[in-house]
């Protein structure tokens, strides 16, 4: 009988994709279980992007360490970005961690685990300039069998001054296009209808002569019924060619996540973002000119080193000018070892950071609401993903399902039940929906007509 493995994942989509690689590497020895209390091995796949993310993991590790006292045979491993950043400090801490493995060393897990079984601690945090895991078929852990991640490149060497990622994930490297296209084709054959191409810097993908726009063309050509998304792009690598490929293929979703970080050119320079406000706004105009209906979302950091009220107001004014559909918004969190932590004092007081963040969040709520209101009355094609959180409509008692628009907005709708008890509209169907109303976070629609 195989041993039991529980994986808990924190952080970005790349980490979720990496957990699928971990599960695949350990499949010969371990069965995945949904509940950690019965596991023989717990792996925590971690994120170092902000202090708060690490704190959450530390709290969780305390719980797992306490569980180990009750279940002495159980092993605890920490993998991902925190493993890379904190290395053997983790093995020396009071937490009883058996195994520390960085993001490029997952292939050594079986060997390290046999060392752990022999009573030693296992550690491998070597970064690689080549590892992409391109030959390892991920074990899909997503919540539906419709939408999957495909990791296409790893690492980042942009060295934004605040960011720990280049230190925890190493240099940029891209997978061969053939392996990516084959993975997407195989998913489509299995019934998947959406793939999200992932990378820390997805649009700086480069394999020989092929760039990201060329790769998108290949993946989008697999079938008009396979939706293609990508995340996360760096504005500096958002080429005109990529914009025109997006506009050309109806199955490439009209949604771009384009982290701006700040609306102030002075801050952007200090952050080493390699673009300024005007350049970013020009990219937004280029997107809108080619795809007037494109959803645009962003990441924003409040209170980076030396940020003045004027800089902050420029962030607010840029947000209004772009009219983002949604945003992830953060307080600056100093990360040890980054350029900013070595050269700039973290000098915006905590209460000022918090107030600015709250202003940014309040403005985004307004913008998201406006964006949703603009959609009321319009018709969208959605891909049905599953039951809605509420499961049944309060108004009609009908089963409620949800899907996503190309722009990546969730639309909830009433489903029907066939005489045999199955749903009229199934997960994986494409439907035309008319949006009837909206809340700040969700659209509500009615089905116009099913489509093949």
Question: Is residue 324 within the footprint of ligand 5AD (CB under 6 A)?
Answer: no
Query: Count residues contacting ligand SF4 (CB under 6 A)?
Result: 10
Dihedral of CA 73/79/82/85: which sign? positive
On whether the CB atoms of residues 152 and 199 are closer than 8 A, the answer is yes
Q: What is the 3-state secondary structure (H, E, C) of 219-272?
A: HHCCCCCCEEEEECCCHHHCCHHHHHHHHHCCCECCEEECCCECCCHHHHHHCC
| Residue 332 partner contact from ligand 5AD, ligand SF4, none using kind-dependent CB cut-offs of 5 to 8 Å | ligand 5AD
Q: Segment 31-50, which members bind ligand 5AD (CB under 6 A)?
A: 49-50
Q: How far is the CB of 156 from ligand SF4 (least distance, A)?
A: 3
The residue range among 109-117, 163-171, 173-181, 380-388 that interacts with ligand SF4, by the rule CB under 6 A, is: 163-171
Closest to ligand SF4 by CB, 147 or 338:
338
Cβ contact 50:13 at 8 Å: no
Q: Report the alpha-carbon distance of residue 173 to residue 157 in Å, rounded.
A: 10
* Binders in 171-210 for ligand SF4, by CB under 6 A: 200-201
Residue 158, binding choice from ligand SF4, ligand 5AD, none, Cβ under 5 to 8 Å by partner class: ligand SF4
The answer to whether 6 and 79 are in contact (CB under 8 A) is no
Binding residues for ligand 5AD restricted to 143-172, rule: CB under 6 A = 162-163
Report the residue from 13, 96, 158, 408 that binds ligand SF4 according to the rule CB under 6 A.
Answer: 158
* 198 belongs to the binding site for ligand 5AD (CB under 6 A): no
Least distance in angstroms from the C-beta of 162 to ligand SF4: 7
Peptide linkage before 232 cis (omega within 30 of 0)? yes
Question: Residue 156, interface with ligand SF4 (CB under 6 A)?
Answer: yes
Q: Give the one entry of ligand 5AD, ligand SF4, none that residue 132 binds, where binding means its C-beta sits below a cut-off of 5 to 8 angstroms depending on kind.
A: none
Of 31-39, 72-80, 206-214, 332-340, the window that binds ligand 5AD (rule: CB under 6 A) is 332-340
Q: Which of 270, 264, 260, 266 is nearest to 297 (CA)?
A: 260
C-alpha to C-alpha distance for 62 and 376, rounded to whole angstroms:
47
Closer to ligand 5AD by CB, 83 or 258: give it: 258
Pairing type for strands 30-32 and 153-154 reads: unpaired
Determine the 3-state secondary structure of 276 from DSSP. coil
Q: Which does 234 bind (CB under 5 to 8 A by kind): ligand SF4, ligand 5AD, none?
A: ligand SF4
Can you read off the two tokens belonging to residue 70? Answer: 């009750």
301 binds, among ligand 5AD, ligand SF4, none (CB under 5 to 8 A by kind): ligand 5AD
Q: Are 184 and 147 in contact (CB under 8 A)?
A: no
Site residues (vs ligand 5AD, CB under 6 A): 49-50, 162-163, 259, 261, 299, 301, 330, 332-333, 335
């Amino acid at each position: 009988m195989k041993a039991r493995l529980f994986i808990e994942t924190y952080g970005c989509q790349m980490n979720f994709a990496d957990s699928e690689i971990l599960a695949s590497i350990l499949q010969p020895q371990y069965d995945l279980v949904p509940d950690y209390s019965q596991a023989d091995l717990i792996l925590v796949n971690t994120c170092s992007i902000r202090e708060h993310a690490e704190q959450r993991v530390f709290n969780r590790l305390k719980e797992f360490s306490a569980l180990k006292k009750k279940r002495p045979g159980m092993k605890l491993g920490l993998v991902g970005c925190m493993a890379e950043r904190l290395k053997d400090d983790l093995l020396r801490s009071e937490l009883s961690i058996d195994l520390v493995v960085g993001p490029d060393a997952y292939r050594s897990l079986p060997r390290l685990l046999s060392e752990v079984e022999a009573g030693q601690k296992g550690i491998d945090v070597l970064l690689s300039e080549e590892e992409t895991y391109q030959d390892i078929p991920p074990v899909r852990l997503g919540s539906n069998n419709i939408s999957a991640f495909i990791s296409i490149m790893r690492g980042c060497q942009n060295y934004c001054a605040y960011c720990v990622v280049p230190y925890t994930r190493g240099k940029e490297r891209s997978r061969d296009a053939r392996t990516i296209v084959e993975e997407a084709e195989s998913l489509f054959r299995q019934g998947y209808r959406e793939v999200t191409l992932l990378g820390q810097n997805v649009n700086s993908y480069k394999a020989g002569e092929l760039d990201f726009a060329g790769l998108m063309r290949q993946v989008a050509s697999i079938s008009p019924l396979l939706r293609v998304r990508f995340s996360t792009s760096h504005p500096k690598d958002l080429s005109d060619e990529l914009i025109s490929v997006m506009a050309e293929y109806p199955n490439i979703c009209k949604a771009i996540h384009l982290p701006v970080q700040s609306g102030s050119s002075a801050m952007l320079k200090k952050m080493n973002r390699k673009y300024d406000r005007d350049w970013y706004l020009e990219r937004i105009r280029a997107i809108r000119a080619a795809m007037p209906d494109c959803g645009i979302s962003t990441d924003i950091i409040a209170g980076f080193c030396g940020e003045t009220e004027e800089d902050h107001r420029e962030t607010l004014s840029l947000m209004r000018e772009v009219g983002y559909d949604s945003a992830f918004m953060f307080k600056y969190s100093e990360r040890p070892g980054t350029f900013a932590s070595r050269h700039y004092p973290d000098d915006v007081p905590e209460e000022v950071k918090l107030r600015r963040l709250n202003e940014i969040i309040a403005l985004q709520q307004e913008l998201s609401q406006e964006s949703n209101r603009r959609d009321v009355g319009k018709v969208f094609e959605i891909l049905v993903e599953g039951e809605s959180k509420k499961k049944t409509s309060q108004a009609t008692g009908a089963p409620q399902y949800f899907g996503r628009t190309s722009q990546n907005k969730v639309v909830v709708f009433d489903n029907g039940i066939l005489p045999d008890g199955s749903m009229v509209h199934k997960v994986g169907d494409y439907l035309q929906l008319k949006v009837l109303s909206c809340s700040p976070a969700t659209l509500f629609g009615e089905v116009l007509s099913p489509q093949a």
